[in-house]
Amino acid sequence: MAGLKHIALILLLVALAPFSGSAQDRNAIDVEEILNHLRDRFNRIQDYQVDLQVSLDMPMLRMPRKNMTFSFKQPDLTRLEARGFAMVPRRGLALSPDSLLQSLHDLELAGDTLIDGHLCAILQGREQGLDDLDLQARLFVDRNLWLLRGLSTYLDDEEIFRLRTEYQEVAPDIYMPSLTQLRFQVNERFLRGRRFRNEHFDPDIPEPVLPEGQDLTGEAAITFNNYRINLGLPDSYFQEDTQVEE
């Protein structure tokens, strides 16, 4: 009888083994699965072209609504065509998830939330920046369609950058942005830190002179129309200089 109890205990431990990893290990698997879903979704597209309407309202830089054509080819070829001066915040474009997430580290699953009625997983991590600035980032990933609905950057728990994206179905089960809105609001402490390490400046935030006691705020909006998907664009098409703001 004792032998049967011993065997039963062993079987119970074996059955529980797949669930006995640490919470940190399970969390890491969840994060990687979510990132793989993002990659799988985006990799359905080999290349695309889209017409953009972009408007910028930033201190010392204001660009009324401007028409452009943006082209992309896997893994990271881009081209922006416009008449006259034009610029686009890089984070506002539909680029590969890895190119947009390469500056984020130590991602962990931090729960779920609703973004415009869509259930989204929250991925939280550190954003590469200055040694003396605690920059945190949160990604909001649609759990149904596996799309990046939003991105926020925080300094000392204060949101300094926000991106939100709406999507449209441009081909069967292929979703691309229809509208992306960006907003930033940073203080003097953030700008002082940025001046010492220019190579880590946020690509979406310029460096104007900030009036004493005031925050720096700005907004951008990108509207996407007339997608052309999987055209077979040659690499040579992208050899001309691009105007995508880095």
Token pair 């203080």 in the structure block, residue: 187
CA–CA separation, 190 vs 136, rounded Å? 13
Residue 207's pLDDT band (cuts 50, 70, 90) = low
* Three-class SS state of 235: helix
CA–CA separation, 224 vs 68, rounded Å? 10
Predicted local distance difference test score (pLDDT) of residue 184 = 82
Q: What is the mean pLDDT of residues 201-209?
A: 48
Query: How big is the chain, counted in residues?
Result: 246
* Three-class SS state of 239: coil
Say if residue 209's pLDDT is above 70.
no
Q: What is the mean pLDDT of residues 93-109?
A: 85
Give the chain's mean pLDDT: 77
Q: Taking a C-beta distance cutoff of 8 angstroms, is the pair 73, 233 a contact?
A: yes
Say if residue 206's pLDDT is above 90.
no
User: What's the sign of the alpha-carbon dihedral 113, 115, 117, 123?
Assistant: negative
Q: Taking a C-beta distance cutoff of 8 angstroms, is the pair 70, 50 a contact?
A: yes
Which tokens go with 96? Answer: 């590969």
For residues 44 and 11, the model is more confident at: 44
Q: What is the mean pLDDT of residues 73-97?
A: 85
pTM, two decimals, is 0.75
Name which of 70, 121, 64 is nearest 92 in CA terms.
70
Predicted local distance difference test score (pLDDT) of residue 242 = 47
Which tokens go with 54? Answer: 């972009």
Distance of CA 174 to the CA centre of its chain: 18
HSE toward the beta carbon, residue 68, CA cutoff 13 A = 27
Token pair 């402490």 in the structure block, residue: 189
Q: Taking a C-beta distance cutoff of 8 angstroms, is the pair 49, 221 a contact?
A: no
CA–CA separation, 29 vs 14, rounded Å? 21
Sheet of 47-58, strands arranged across: 77-81, 61-73, 47-58, 216-229, 174-186, 158-171, 148-155, 135-142, 118-127, 104-115
